[in-house]
Chains A and B, each alone.
Chain A
Amino acid sequence: MKMKTGISWATMIIVLLGGLLLFGCSKKEIQTDGLVTKPGEGQLADEEAEKAKKRARIREQELTEQQLREKALAEEEARRKALTAAAGSFENEDVYFEFDQFVISESAKAVLNKKAQWLREHATAKALIEGHCDERGSTEYNLALGQKRADAALQYLVALGISPSRLSTISYGKERPADPGQNETAWAKNRRAHFVLK
């Protein structure tokens, strides 16, 4: 949702800037056209010189506006990229747990602190927290454990001041591993709380 809003803002700014530019240019051309109606012989050279000056001025103005537009576009692009990157890290960075545990570790706190900051900066964003487990143990116990993990992450964010109305949870137990491997490296990646923007 947040990303879409950002993109539509960028589009609106581009359209507005473009509109202003077009409006400005056409106004000047109309004025120029008005000056060249019924030109006399003697006036011609002067008018030509005046026209050349104006063209130069217009060209100068166009160049400036082009530069402005490019600058604005670059800024918007940077802002959009930053937002995408921020959303990316918000969704890509998981909170990890020890085997058969749902305690929020120090490193998990560091990740969650960043998520809380991100949520403060994007006040309309809502997140779904998925609790996941590694493949060891029973289907049903892991569903229960995954729910505990998701809710432990939720409660930590709420304690940091994030409104619980912006957060929801679901447990996938061991049903959706991030890494299908059957070793400790894979298992460590799978014991996670994963964030998805709603």
Chain B
Amino acid sequence: MMKHMKSAYKRCLPALLIGLLAWAWPGLLLSRAAIDIDSPAAKKIPVAVADPAPRGGADTALGSQMAQVLTKDLDFTGYFQWVDPKGFPGRDDEKNPDFRGWGLTGAELLVRGAYQSSGAGLQADFYLYDVQQGKMLLGKQYSGSPRDYKKMAHRFADEILYLLTGETGVFQTRIAFVSTTSGKKEIYLSDFDGGDFQRLTHHNSISLSPRWSPKGNEIAYTSYKDGNPSLYLLQLPGLQSIRISHRPGLNISPSWFPGGESLALALSQPGGNSEIYQISRTGGVLQRLTQGAAIDVSPSWSPDGRQMAFVSNRAGSPQIYILNVSSRETRRITFQGNYNVNPSWSPKGDRIAYASMSGSQVDIYTVSPKNGEVQRLTFGGKNESPDFSPDGRMIVFSSSRQGRPALYVMNANGANPRRITFMNGEQTGPSWGPKRSEQ
């Protein structure tokens, strides 16, 4: 983890101007960290986030803004219960928190901090305390420009999640999606929570199926901008669009191979039938992956790249199949319902999310690739295009439950669904980008 953090720090330094002087508390995890935080029965952890205190003549508004970001991030996970810090009856000083006073608020965890700003500089210290045991669990110091206050708060929220779950949170990740805000389908980007959205393409055509590369520096997508649906790579940043597959017919439903050096893609044959190929990131065919007279489309690689889930109508209706790449054996994994599409393999490899249509309803399910055990995650409306967060703990999807399709996020067990886009038009086809530390 620290190695990751350090390399990320080196690479991000010029762009972010955030210096990270970290001292870590290894080991000493909370006893509750052993509790399965994803269990539907798991109790939410009461947490109070106090406004970091300004030192010297620092801008007091910055403190409450950072506390807001931290509160929103922690709330977003669905693991925490917010405790109003105004209920704190005691008096705090920066060195010694009043644990008895905080205990009276019901909070089990306390986040606080202090910061000083001077012109172009901001230095913020954040702390996480176990209130009941009266000890500090985590302390981090960040320095950068006052503009970076959000990034500092997101980073500390990621650290809290890492301490509790063993994995960094998603608070520095982004989501690519399709939106019709301009009247045409274009590719957009937003923060993990739908905030700070921006339009990436201006093709004035039909642009579809964005898929974030594992390194996070490219988005593969299909567009009709040059006539037939072709595959493009959008470079981040810079937003140059490079066409890599413009074969006659379809060049659709890309899925990045782990590592990002190649992709699976559905290409149509001369007779119009779609088959899945593996192509290099410059567009050359490496190998053909599916055979037969049926439609094969929508590939999704397993995290180790040894298997690939995909949609085929070889049994008469679209169902999810798994290809063992080396043995070329294919097995069907969905047997409930007669229209199962949009497979998305989880980053841990243990589940495949998909959308299942029944009458006018479409709901998201997950299935175990090992034993075929199925779990239903959504109930009502049309819920489509699931994609896992990079830590595998959440799923982003599009839903029409409140009218026009918008993006929602839920925990990977279906709990805590919440809407994240409130833009004009329809938002569909989301792809959750990798952790920034991998970028």
Contacts and interface: CB of A to CB of B under 8 A. Distances in A.
Interface of A: 100, 131, 136-141, 143-145, 147-148, 150-152, 154-155, 169-172, 175
Nearest to B338: A100
Contacts of B342: 138, 140
A144 B355 contact: no
Given A139-B429, A169-B272, A144 B228 contact: no
B99 interface: no
B229 interface: yes
Interface string B345-362: 000000000010100000
A170 B248 CA distance: 9
Nearest to A102: B272
B250 A144 contact: yes
B318 A140 contact: no
B206 A144 contact: no
Contacts of B313: 100, 141
Contacts of B297: 140-141, 143-144
A144 B209 contact: no
Given A143-B208, A171-B249, 13 more contacts: A139-B385, A140-B208, A140-B266, A140-B311, A141-B298, A144-B274, A147-B273, A147-B274, A151-B273, A154-B272, A169-B272, A171-B268, A175-B185
Interface in B267-303: 268, 271-274, 295, 297-298
Decide if the interface of chain A is mainly helix, strand, loop or mixed. helix
Contacts of A148: 272-273, 295
15 contacts: A131-B272, A138-B384, A139-B429, A140-B253, A140-B311, A141-B295, A141-B341, A143-B208, A144-B268, A144-B297, A151-B272, A169-B249, A170-B227, A172-B206, A175-B206
B317 interface: yes
Nearest to A145: B295
Contact of B318 (A100, A131, A143, A169): A100
Contact of B298 (A100, A138, A155, A170): A138
Nearest to A138: B341
Contacts of B339: 100, 137
Nearest to B227: A170
Given A138-B385, A144-B268, A148-B295, A171 B250 contact: yes
Contact of B250 (A100, A143, A154): A143
Contacts of B429: 139
A141 B266 CA distance: 10
A141 B311 contact: yes
A171 B267 CA distance: 12
B252 interface: yes
B357 A137 contact: yes
Nearest to B382: A136
A188 to B, nearest CB: 15
B229 A143 contact: yes
A143 B311 contact: no
B229 A171 contact: yes
Contacts of B179: none
Given A138-B311, A140-B341, A143-B250, A170 B228 contact: yes
